[in-house]
Amino acid sequence: MSYVWTGSRRGLGTAAQAGADVQIGGSLATGAGTAVLSTIAASGGSVLGLTGAALTAAIPIVGAALAGVTLLVQYLVANSGCGQTCIETSSWANQAAAQLDKNIHGYFALPTPRPKSAQTLALANFNTLWNQLVQLCQQPGTGTAGQRCISDRQEGACTWKQTAAALPPWGTPAVGECWNWWNGYYLPIANDPNVYDDSVTAQVSNAVAGTTATGAPAAGDTVVAGVDLSTIPWYVWAGVGLAAVLVVSE
């Protein structure tokens, strides 16, 4: 007599269980992405309020490249003091431009559609460096060099033009068009059409939309604002909890 094993192999689980694990992992990462969005919003669009722990937790969403650029942006801002040890504005601008180049390449290296939290982080990296550049270039004593430090790079500036050799994969600005920090490093990210909302709020809304079409709530279910909370998967609530913990820990 022979026996046929019909159970799942230990440690592997069923396909349904594997799918649930993917959903759970995605929900937890979504919570981390939401924490990044919340912190940036609370900091007025800056990345200076983000901790290493929050960035590490968000890597599955925003990618290691963007998280690494954010840490370097924080370092550059922290080490751009003034006085006798102040870094010359032109030198600092070159260092900042190098990070902005990594920032935009790291963002567009993410698969499409790209998460909103990654787009927000990339834009906040730019805003943080731009605001610091403006502050440095407006220091007393920088004179004409300080003025050009801003005017050469601000939106609408045309000191430089896009060359064919430097045309990036995303194609903007086009060859021959004016190139400055804004249309070179900011607007391609801001105008990216391939972005989806990965916030916890969107996850809950999607879960509600996918689970409330079956009929009216059952007797005894908790209903808030017309939504039957019992229909929302538990892994979505796990993401909500993680986001709350990360935000509070900031």
The per-residue pLDDT for range 150-189, each reduced to its tens digit, is 999 999 999 999 999 999 999 999 999 999 999 999 999 9
- Residue 102 confidence (pLDDT): 96
Residue with tokens 């960035």: 55
- Residue 202 confidence (pLDDT): 62
- Residue 114 confidence (pLDDT): 95
How far is residue 5's CA from residue 10's CA, in Å, rounded to a whole number? Answer: 12
- Residue 130 confidence (pLDDT): 95
Q: Residue 217: inside a domain, yes or no?
A: no
- Residue 209 confidence (pLDDT): 57
Q: Residue 74: inside a domain, yes or no?
A: yes
How far from 91 is each of 10, 72, 229, 246, CA to CA, in Å?
A: 58, 16, 55, 36
Q: Residue 6: inside a domain, yes or no?
A: no
Neighbouring residues of 34: CB distance < 8 A, sequence distance ≥ 6: 117, 198, 199, 200, 201, 239, 243
- Residue 52 confidence (pLDDT): 86
How many separate domains does the chain show? 1
Q: Which amino acid is at 96?
A: A
- Residue 240 confidence (pLDDT): 45
- Residue 118 confidence (pLDDT): 95
Q: Residue 128: inside a domain, yes or no?
A: yes
Quote the tokens at residue 15. 């396909």
User: Which SS3 state, helix, strand or coil, does residue 1 take?
Assistant: coil
Q: Residue 10: inside a domain, yes or no?
A: no
Categorise residue 140: left if φ over 0, alpha if ψ from -120 to 50, beta otherwise. beta
- Residue 203 confidence (pLDDT): 62
DSSP 8-class letter at 48: T
Neighbouring residues of 50: CB distance < 8 A, sequence distance ≥ 6: 36, 39, 40, 43, 70, 74
Counting as low any pLDDT under 50, the low residues of the chain are 1-28, 83-86, 211-214, 223-228, 234-240, 243-248
- Residue 247 confidence (pLDDT): 44
Neighbouring residues of 16: CB distance < 8 A, sequence distance ≥ 6: none
Phi and psi at 194, nearest 5°, equal: -100, 65
Q: Residue 116 is part of which domain span?
A: 18-208+222-249
Q: Residue 135: inside a domain, yes or no?
A: yes
Rg (CA), the chain: 23
Q: Residue 5: inside a domain, yes or no?
A: no
Extract the runs of DSSP E, i.e. beta strands, from the chain.
114-115, 160-161, 178-179, 195-196, 223-224, 227-228
Which among 23, 19, 33 is positioned nearest to 66, based on CA atoms? Answer: 33
pTM: 0.69
At CB < 8 A and 24+ separation, what contacts does 83-89 make? Answer: 86/136, 86/139, 87/136, 89/133, 89/136, 89/137, 89/139, 89/142, 89/145, 89/146, 89/149
Q: Residue 215: inside a domain, yes or no?
A: no
How far is residue 215's CA from residue 206's CA, in Å, rounded to a whole number? Answer: 16
End-to-end CA distance of the chain: 63
